[in-house]
Amino acid sequence: MSGEFEDNEQEVWEEDASSDNEQGEGGLAVFSEGDAEPDNNEVSLANLGLDKYATVDDSSFDDFELPETIATVQEAWNAFCGEFESREAAGEMFFTSLFDAAPSLQLLFKSPKAVVAFHSIRFWCRTSDGSFPSVTVHCAQEAQGFRHLEIDVTSVRVDFFREAFLDLMEETLGARFNSNVRAGLQTLINYAGGAFIYIRREYAGRISLILRSWNFASKGSNDASNQSGARSSGEPSDGQRLLCKACSGLMFVLDAPHEPHAMSCSMSCYVMPCCARMKVPTTFNEMVLFNASVMGFGANTWMNIILAQFDDMVRNVANSSRLQEECDVVSLVLAKYRGTINLPDFKAVTLSSLRSLLPEEWDSNHEIAWGWLWENIEGLLSSMLGAELSPRLPVKRQRFAFRQDSLHLTRRLFPVFFELAPAGQDARGDPWQCRRYSADRIISMTVDMYATPRKMVEEISGIGLRHVGYAIPVEMFPPFVSAAVGLLQEMTTNELAIEAFRWSLALIAKILVRLPCTGVEGS
């Protein structure tokens, strides 16, 4: 399928290049032939020491910083967004023009266009800000590349994306789109595209290592129980020896007498030096709770929230959409935690537990791979819990009510959806009363998702199972979300409410897409 995308994009690109040659405008073919405007860009990039980014280079992933001479990119970007009602509207305009020119590219994105545009705009706003140091830009690109691991980014697709973006900017800004702005945007997009390709290729080994080690570390207590049954009752197990050493070391640090004792914490983890009375950690979860108590994090009960879904997070490390979904749900639960949450503490406990469970296999490669995984998970969680979205935001979102506008939204939702996707009428043969009820229930679910996230995930899964025979086409979900978000934007200018509604509805759509009702993936 990826090969078909490549062929289609190459054909479209050749058609665009040939028409550009006839009209004398910019394009990939024009770059190769060296017409005036592209040559000026290449010369400026060479003079600025950025000739490496004149094309997409995926040979390395280095730190990057725009020179001051082309720092006008941020000003041009703000001017471009100012031509539209909102930054999200600017993003939707770009992706509409991009998908119209290359429909095959739309199949690479699983999220609705409104959601893709929203996240893309936020990313480019951060990246184009010249005030950020090179290390910050590098980290932002790495995090974004991690979220695009499942997308087959190629240099041809990056070229098409870049030219479509530059054409729209030039058409919108006119004379304000000078050679410096073009050079800056060209450099940024080529750098980002090369980074995505590099990360997807080079980090495949890390993903394989993580999955392999996790399969061994999360086997559970079956092997341990079988081995303990083969020993005599008086012989301590390996786990008991481990706990004896850990407990003795803890008592040495505390300068406490080596005598029978018991320590307990709020995480229900008990440590007893007497092997006969000791609760031996035989699973990863038990090892995490034990290490948390030993390392002084016994009162951090929020770790249990992450631990409950950590297995799903790890097993979907290569599926960025599913990993994002898991992190979104966890972040909603964490936002209700009353207390201080220091996510790096979980990393310390996790790595310590994995070292204990994989003493013979653990090496520096494991340390780097697992550290990289947690840093990306932490980034996904922090986007909901950090400065951008405060922990109190879900409470504000939960209180958001549509009141009188709700009736207007439920009445118009399906008609607008059918305008965007006429094929949806075939998938929905219900009478208008059922459609009205469905629309009202969907809107209320977006609010309930903030109030009881895990309960809502179970309810949504149940809805998918009850509709398993419908085989709803996956391509129906993006226009449905876009229709709902567009209607809400017509009724209110409250950016917080719009963002909350978009985010929650997109999460619900992502869960439904992978359920049996779509025939894509089991629940």
Q: With 0-12 CB in 10 A as exposed, 13-18 as middle and 19+ as buried, what is 376?
A: buried
Q: Is residue 231 part of a domain?
A: no
Mapped onto helix, strand or coil, the DSSP state of residue 263 is: strand
The set of residues, in sequence order, having a beta carbon less than 8 Å from that of 386 and lying 6+ positions away, is none
Which of these three, 184, 202, 220, is where a domain ends? 202
Task: Please say whether the beta carbons of 176 and 79 come within 8 A.
Answer: yes
Q: With 0-12 CB in 10 A as exposed, 13-18 as middle and 19+ as buried, what is 360?
A: exposed
Least confident segment among 113-117, 310-314, 388-392: 388-392
More confident of the two residues 158 and 402: 158
Mapped onto helix, strand or coil, the DSSP state of residue 271 is: strand
Nearest C-alpha neighbor of 217 from the set 174, 275, 281: 281
SS3 for 332-381, per residue?
Answer: HHHCCCCCCCCHHHHHHHHHHHHHHHCCCCCCHHHHHHHHHHHHHHHHHH
Q: Are residues 373 and 401 in the same domain?
A: no
Nearest C-alpha neighbor of 71 from the set 32, 129, 111: 129
Nearest C-alpha neighbor of 91 from the set 158, 165, 152, 192: 165
Please say if the pLDDT value at position 376 is more than 50.
yes
Q: Are residues 75 and 122 in the same domain?
A: yes
Least confident segment among 104-108, 311-315, 325-329, 500-504: 104-108
Q: Is residue 523 part of a domain?
A: no
Mapped onto helix, strand or coil, the DSSP state of residue 463 is: helix
Give tens-digit pLDDT for 2-17.
444 444 444 434 444 4
Q: What is the mean pLDDT of the chain?
A: 72
Q: How crowded is residue 372: how many other Cβ atoms within 10 Å of its Cβ? A: 17
Q: Is residue 171 part of a domain?
A: yes
What mean pLDDT do residues 200-212 have? 89
Q: Are residues 359 and 249 in the same domain?
A: yes
What mean pLDDT do residues 455-473 have? 78
SS3 for 87-126, per residue?
Answer: HHHHHHHHHHHHHHHCHHHHCCCCCCHHHHHHHHHHHHHH
CATH number for the domain including 187? 1.10.490.10
Q: Are residues 347 and 381 in the same domain?
A: yes
Q: How far apart are CA 321 and CA 150, in angstroms?
A: 8
**In this structure, what are the phi and psi dihedrals at residue 309, rounded to the nearest 5 degrees?**
-120, 15
Q: How crowded is residue 478: how many other Cβ atoms within 10 Å of its Cβ? A: 23
Q: Is residue 468 part of a domain?
A: yes
Give tens-digit pLDDT for 80-91.
888 887 777 788
Token digits for 70? 């082309």
More confident of the two residues 306 and 10: 306
Q: Are residues 362 and 416 in the same domain?
A: no
Q: Are residues 357 and 265 in the same domain?
A: yes
Please say if the pLDDT value at position 65 is more than 80.
no
Please say if the pLDDT value at position 257 is more than 70.
no
Task: Please say whether the beta carbons of 18 and 25 come within 8 A.
Answer: no
First to last CA, the chain: 25
Q: How far apart are CA 310 and CA 380, in angstroms?
A: 13
Which of these three, 202, 221, 254, is where a domain ends? 202
Q: What is the pLDDT of residue 348?
A: 94
Task: Please say whether the beta carbons of 482 and 112 come within 8 A.
Answer: yes
Q: Are residues 373 and 277 in the same domain?
A: yes
Q: How far apart are CA 507 and CA 513, in angstroms?
A: 10
What mean pLDDT do residues 507-522 have? 67
Q: With 0-12 CB in 10 A as exposed, 13-18 as middle and 19+ as buried, what is 20?
A: buried
Q: How far apart are CA 69 and CA 71, in angstroms?
A: 6
Please say if the pLDDT value at position 143 is more than 50.
yes
Helix (H) or strand (E) holding 390: none
Domain count, the chain: 3
SS3 for 234-256, per residue?
Answer: CCCCHHHHHHHHHHHHHHHHCCC
Least confident segment among 96-100, 326-330, 412-416: 96-100
Least confident segment among 69-73, 108-112, 281-285: 69-73
Task: Please say whether the beta carbons of 143 and 6 come within 8 A.
Answer: no
Please say if the pLDDT value at position 166 is more than 70.
yes
Please say if the pLDDT value at position 260 is more than 60.
no
Q: How confident is the model at residue 389 (pLDDT cuts 50, 70, 90)?
A: very low
Q: What is the pLDDT of residue 412?
A: 85
Which of these three, 147, 180, 202, is where a domain ends? 202
Q: Is residue 210 part of a domain?
A: no
Least confident segment among 283-287, 335-339, 511-515: 511-515
Percent of the chain with pLDDT over 90: 13
Task: Please say whether the beta carbons of 481 and 417 come within 8 A.
Answer: no
Give tens-digit pLDDT for 110-135.
666 666 766 676 676 666 655 555 55
Q: How far apart are CA 191 and CA 199, in angstroms?
A: 12
Give tens-digit pLDDT for 11-42.
434 444 444 444 333 333 333 333 434 444 44
Q: Is residue 222 part of a domain?
A: no
Q: Is residue 63 part of a domain?
A: yes
Please say if the pLDDT value at position 395 is more than 50.
no
Residue whose tokens read 């890390």: 206
Token digits for 285? 């979860």
Q: How far apart are CA 167 and CA 263, in angstroms?
A: 66
**In this structure, what are the phi and psi dihedrals at residue 263, rounded to the nearest 5 degrees?**
-125, 140
DSSP letter string, 465-477: HHTTTT---GGGH
Give the torsion sign (CA, 171, 117, 197, 19). negative
Please say if the pLDDT value at position 256 is more than 50.
no
Percent of the chain with pLDDT over 70: 64
Give the torsion sign (CA, 395, 396, 399, 402). negative
Q: Is residue 207 part of a domain?
A: no
Q: Are residues 296 and 368 in the same domain?
A: yes
Least confident segment among 64-68, 149-153, 414-418, 476-480: 64-68
Please say if the pLDDT value at position 402 is more than 70.
no
What mean pLDDT do residues 297-318 have? 91
Task: Please say whether the beta carbons of 112 and 479 come within 8 A.
Answer: yes
Q: How far apart are CA 441 and CA 464, in angstroms?
A: 14
Q: Are residues 475 and 357 in the same domain?
A: no
Q: What is the pLDDT of residue 211?
A: 93
Task: Please say whether the beta carbons of 184 and 156 come within 8 A.
Answer: no
Q: Are residues 251 and 190 in the same domain?
A: no
Helix (H) or strand (E) holding 8: helix 2-23
Q: How confident is the model at residue 431 (pLDDT cuts 50, 70, 90)?
A: low
Please say if the pLDDT value at position 475 is more than 70.
yes
Q: Are residues 416 and 494 in the same domain?
A: yes
Instruction: Please give the residue range of the domain that contains residue 247.
Output: 236-389
Q: What is the pLDDT of residue 133?
A: 54
Nearest C-alpha neighbor of 189 from the set 78, 45, 87: 45
Q: Are residues 367 and 284 in the same domain?
A: yes
